[in-house]
């Protein structure tokens, strides 16, 4: 199913690079837990997702990076994914605010995609993470 997930670190002047690296490390640990030690051999079982880094438009003097993720995650696994990633990212960002919304219709998917596109500074997909093309 399609979900629109936001991870907001609530930390001004945070590093985009650190945020994406911390997310990737958490994602690797999650796949290791879900698929086993050889999770890299099972790329077809890994979730399809588009990750956008956004800064919002609050104050131009400060950067406030956060992640918008459009993910295709099965309904049975979304709770575990959100719980694991929230706990992982809270190690680095104690004031983290996670949000997960189910996208029921094509119109919902379109709106979420347009919102991400309008705010996005840099965009990644699951193949970028698998090949290592995620460094800013």
pTM: 0.82
Check residues 46 and 118 and name the one with the higher pLDDT: 46
pLDDT tens digits for range 70-86: 899 999 999 999 999 99
Write the DSSP string, 12-79.
TT--HHHHHHHHHHHHHHHHHHHH-TTGGG-GGGSPEEEEEEE--SS-TTS---EEEEEEE--TTTHH
Average pLDDT of the residues of the chain: 83
**pLDDT over 60 (residue 62):** no
Total count of domains within the chain: 1
d(CA 56, CA 119): 6
Q: Which tens digit of pLDDT belongs to each residue from 93-135?
A: 999 999 999 988 888 888 887 777 777 777 777 667 666 665 5
Q: Are 66 and 6 in contact (CB under 8 A)?
A: yes
The reply to whether 136 falls in a domain is: no
Kindly state whether residue 119 falls inside one of the protein's structural domains: yes
Domain containing 101 equals 2-129
Taking phi first (over 0 means left), then psi (-120 to 50 degrees means alpha), and beta for anything else, what does residue 70 get?
Answer: beta
* Structure-token pair, residue 60: 């131009």
The CATH number of whichever domain residue 79 belongs to comes to 3.30.70
């Amino acid at each position: 199913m399609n979900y629109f997930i936001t991870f907001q670190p609530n930390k001004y002047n945070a590093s985009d690079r650190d945020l994406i690296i911390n997310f990737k490390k958490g994602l690797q640990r999650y796949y290791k837990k879900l698929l086993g030690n050889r999770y890299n051999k099972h790329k077809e079982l890994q979730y399809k997702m588009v990750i956008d880094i956004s800064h919002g438009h609050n104050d131009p003097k400060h950067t406030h990076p956060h992640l918008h993720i459009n993910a295709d995650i099965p309904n049975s696994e979304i709770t575990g994914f959100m719980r694991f990633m929230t706990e992982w990212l809270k190690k680095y960002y104690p004031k983290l605010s996670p949000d997960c919304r189910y996208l029921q219709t094509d119109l919902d998917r379109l709106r979420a995609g347009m919102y991400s596109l309008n705010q996005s500074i840099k965009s990644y997909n699951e193949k970028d993470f698998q090949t290592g093309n995620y460094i800013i």
